[in-house]
Structure 1
Amino acid sequence: MVGALVGVGWLVLPVMTAGDGDPVPVSPAVPAASAAAPHQDETSATDLVLPLAVLGAAGALAGYGYLRRTRRARTRTTPGVVSAAPPVPTSRETERQARAALVLADDCARGSEEELSFAQELFGAAAVEPFAHALRAARTELSAAFAIWRRYEEGVPGDEGARRQALVGVIGRCAEAGRRLDAEAAELDRLRGLEQGVGEALEVAERRFRELTARTAAAQATAAGLHERYAPSAGTPVTGYVEQAKDRLVFATSQLNDARQAADSGDGARAARHLRAAEGGVIQAGVLVGGVERLAAELREAAGLVPTALTGGEAEIAEARKDGGRTPLATGELHARLAHADGVLAAVRAELIGGPYDPLDALRRIARAVERLEVGRSGVVEAAALLVARSAVGGAQDFVAVHRGAVGAHARARLAQAVRALGSGAGRDAEADVLAGQARELAERDVRVHGNPYAETAGHAAGLSGAVLGGILLTEEPDAGPPVSFGGPETRGRRRLR
């Protein structure tokens, strides 16, 4: 601006000083240097060249400065004048945040439940009730968040703005679930007092470890018996569970030893850290062994129920064939479904006398064939459907629990919906069965994609890979990270290396 003013002044100066009224004293006359020099009484054009050049340069500099200031304001990273409104995240970014929030909140609830089981064994149910209440409240928030997410996945609501609000609701519910757990973490630490001494807690963990070691040996024999007694598909849900249980126990052994050594040396914080990691390994070994034991019991129950379910199914088919039966189906559709049901029951009867078969799958096919007739189900068929659904949901829950380090939001949301359907008491057994199957399939896919970033090498602790995959450790430090403790996002990883 200063340069521009100088240039303008220079331009008008000759004009203002031109004429006869010049107040400056005139020097005495001297001989002319050249007779040819003309007398100029007006401003010469050459006098304007330099002022114009200055003015142009000043304008160019002003324009350059303006462009620099504009570009700097747009890319500013230091405090300054910025828009009062924060940038609005895109729909894709909000959806990603909602998925991450669901996984984190679910992990916090699962990890909190694991530690709470050890505290309850040592101090009793009454002493841990405040923490159990916080966990129930967190699970209520989480269940609501999963329900909103599932409706979002199904396209409800349809309006873009409402869908964004639904995602914000999911994130908010998850945050509240985490806050509930964070609020009680310090008090649980005071109750357990691990940093002051792990003696009694270590004894509880070691006792569970010894019990699980014996159960794991028995579960190995049980799993082998499933393959001998039933069709291969019957034992598929627990394939590899015994080996994984052994891996978790190896990890627990290492951590228990480290905890005792740290306690003996007076390092309470490190002893507490290793004890929590050992407790996580023991819990997950128990889930894996329990999965084998439960499936064996369910298959035995199913095998005893199949003949009765066949009889009940035939009764329902006969009812549907009667004139004026209770089914609302059109005649042609009813005949097609009756033919299908007859075929299913005939195939199951052939399997009963044909060698090893899958009793749970047989019950599933009977229940679904009868359900398609829409005449209601007899008590025995209803019991068969419930047993199948319980088995599917339990198997999916176990799988997610011991692989949660890799399982994403979609599988967890299906599982949460399956749990709600099973617990509704409204005859939604078939829905729960289907949803649990979808959850298991999605979870297995997530695990395959995740792979094994912590292969067992000389630089890694024994069982570290399984501990990371199971979400026992948080993978934030050279030795994989702190163990999961009771709490939400702010407190669950508080036992970090110092």
Structure 2
Amino acid sequence: MTPASTRTARSVLAALILLTTLLGGGVARAEEPFRVPEQVTDLSGVLDDGDRAEVEAAVDRLYTDQGLRLWVVLVDDFSGVPYAQWGERTAVASDFGDRDILLAVATVARSYTLNVPQAQTAISNSEISDLEQSSIEPALREEQWAGAATAAATGLAKAVSTTGSGSAGLWVALAVLVLVVVGAIAFGRIRTARRRHAAVEAARTVDGSDPAALAALPADVLDERAREILAETDEAVRASAEELAAATDELGEAGARPFTTALADARRALAEAHELRQRLDDAIPESPEERRRMVERIVTSCAEADRVLDEKVAEFDEIRNLLIDAGARLDALTQRQVEQTARLDGCTATLESLRSRYDASVLAPVADNVALAREQLALADSAIDDGRDAAAQPVGQQGPVVAAVRTAESALTRARTLLDAVDHADEDIVAAVDQLPAAIADAREDVATADRLATHGGEALASARSATVAAIERAERSGATDPLGAMHALVSADAALDDALAAATEAQQRDEHARARLTRDLAAASAQVRAANEFIASRSGAVKVQARTRLAEAERHLQAAQHFAESDAPRALQHAAAALSLSAQASHAAQADVADWEATQRPRHSGGYGGGSTAGGVLTGVLIDSVLRGGFGGGRSYGNRRSGGYGGFGGGPRSFGGSGSSGRIGRSSGGRF
């Protein structure tokens, strides 16, 4: 290929790669080096169905056209392992050969590695570097995860393909690709705009007072929603102020005071939101974390202003409607006053009949009801007259109508209740006398149940139990002379006890479930911790500090779970779960350490672990002291921590997967993006 053709081919490659960088990804998760299960492994969840199909198609084309297998792995971060070592260790764990290439991306830690076998001489180091700098890294910086993977597949295929069509054909292809790129850019922008619009629409349904819901929103969507809700709230406060100004003229300052207070509270919350917006928009920069907290506070302040105003909407509307329809409301109240007044004579006769049949102590709850009802009806009559006088005043002076109507309504309601009690007294007294023994028996059963559930009910159950016991004692003491009062006190206390018993029963069920689950979880955690401990103990010469730390923490949590097993099952469950998780992490880390150790031994010794029983002694920790003193490995200084060895045991870092394992030596490149 001539220099001009080479430059042309690279231009075509750049155009192809630009096309693939227009699609995006999402959020991922962290992973230790592991055996890759499939050619497109998205443990981070950043690829949607369309993205995955695009990457799989590119990987399949690379294999069909060039016989190369590209393995694409997306994780959160490389768990503290340098990107090149992560790629090499993953390649070894996956038994990759000379035709396997690994592209691994840490989407949150924002680093990546491209591991290409040395045997692929058709792909030069300069071509790998050019592919990374011109195509893969730009796509990754824009979080175009599918684009980066597709660019890698396309670039690798181009690097190993044979030339032959000549520069003229390349220029034609370049022109066609430029048109495709322009169309793809336009499509990408449209798709991005649609996704953003959908995200903002979804954000409008999020409860602004819910911090967890706000935390789930992307930063750009949250900022746009904050701008929207600030404008909406500002307009709502302005409109409320105008409405309240008109209502104050009708109600007067005293009548409008509840709404004036609510408006003042809303204005304070809105002022805070405006102040935060001003600070975000000024020339002084904030850190991303601080900026997000301020944006979230804008949303919550506006939500608070809306809540304060919304709480008074129904009351405000009712008052305005009352002023508009004052005449009809007063007429209806007059009708109610007449109806209740007509009942006075009949209730007086009923009360006299009751006095001839029951002792005064039995009738004490209703003895004064007729007299009290007469007073309430007189109050209602006076309030209705005041309301009519106020309604006859000019607009702007009718505020007293509201107080008059509400006073009359309250007085009439109390009068009706008093008279109803007289009408029902005979029936209620008979029922109370007949039902009181059964009610006492039921209450005693509930008290006994409360005693059984005392450990699960807490203070609420103890208080309800005491109140019920007092009501039982009162019923037994005064049931004959005051059956209505005794029954009412007993029913009220027993109802509260029923609620406390329901809560205690639910707590008991949760505790029993937790204890049953705790038995299983403790057994599983104990087994997992024991297995991790045995593995590390039998291979301590190769296990580094991370696995040991995880195991120590797992043992601490296991001891805590066993300590709280009897007294606090839910808390013990939490410790058991932590022990199970940490011991599993310890096992994985220890296994990786042993794999690293074995990989460093095999290249030096074709017969296993470098010297038979001696290497086995190092692995199991028997010969750690001799290793630290340089007594193993032909005088080479193992264990010199300044040399970069693994945990002080073994030589410096080497390429993973040497001739003693898979026969594959890789070139690992990559970096931050």
Superposed pair shares fold, TM > 0.5: no
Shorter-chain TM-score range? 0.3 to 0.5
Please identify the structure whose Cα radius of gyration is greater.
Answer: 2
**TM-score, structure 1 as length reference:** 0.33
